[in-house]
Amino acid sequence: MRTLEELVNTDDPGWPIINEWISMAKNKVDVLPCDLQRAQSSLVNMQVTTRSLMGAVVYNTGGLLVDNGWIRILGSGCNLMKRTLPDWNQGKTFDEFGDAAPYLLMADDVVGGFYAINGGFFGNDTGNIYYFSPDTLDWLPMEIGYSQFLLFCFETDLDDFYEGLRWQDWRNDVAELSPDQAYTFYPSLWTKEGQDIDKVSKAIVSIDEVYKVNMEMKNTLG
């Protein structure tokens, strides 16, 4: 395990790059406040340097909320979004800090979709991002890395990407949602009866519960 001093890069930090991207972003990006002690602990637990853009997000933010909070990119946590990147993955993708993860959960959305970095679980394209789609229960390759993922969040027409997964009044509903929560739907979005999201009922639950249920359902259905 590398020390904090080894992980903090003051010569070529990644945060100025991200900050510039945010200033020019087409989608709304909220930078959550960062507590130094939590940031330092999260950086050490993740074992990434602040030269990397992931390390920069962890060390400089409590997380990022994109498009009115529709997408939540994990950082070092704060009062609003209590999850940290390493804590969220512990017990899901690795057991102990410093362990190699088959994939790393690094962002999610309000409909129970999850973004993960491939650590070998999905195939040979290690480092690429996969999206778990709640309407298919499949991990879908995005063919981009973490840096490009940030640009995807900041620049992409998310209405187009999430076609069929946004209901009529989603902005008002999401404004009331905690970044540590998500929606469950009935009938489920992956069923024939749940294909019209404006006609299903929805309930707010913890994002942890959504992840567990979705993974169990994926494993059950194969």
Between CA 212 and CA 218, with CA 214 as vertex, the angle to 5 degrees is: 115
Q: Residue 188 in contact with residue 218, Cβ under 8 Å?
A: no
Q: Which two tokens stand for residue 206?
A: 């913890």
Q: Residue 202 in contact with residue 183, Cβ under 8 Å?
A: yes
Alpha-carbon distances, residue 98 vs 43, 60, 83, 95 (angstroms): 11, 21, 18, 9
Q: Which residue has the tokens 């030269």?
A: 51
Q: How far is CA 178 from the centre of its chain?
A: 14
Residue 95 confidence (pLDDT): 97
User: What is the pTM assigned to this prediction?
Assistant: 0.97
Residue 82 confidence (pLDDT): 97
Residue 71 confidence (pLDDT): 98
Q: Which residues of the chain have pLDDT under 50?
A: none
DSSP state of 192: G
Cβ-Cβ contacts under 8 Å for 5 (sequence gap 6 or more): none
Residue 43 confidence (pLDDT): 98
Domains and CATH numbers, the chain: 4-221 (3.40.1580.10)
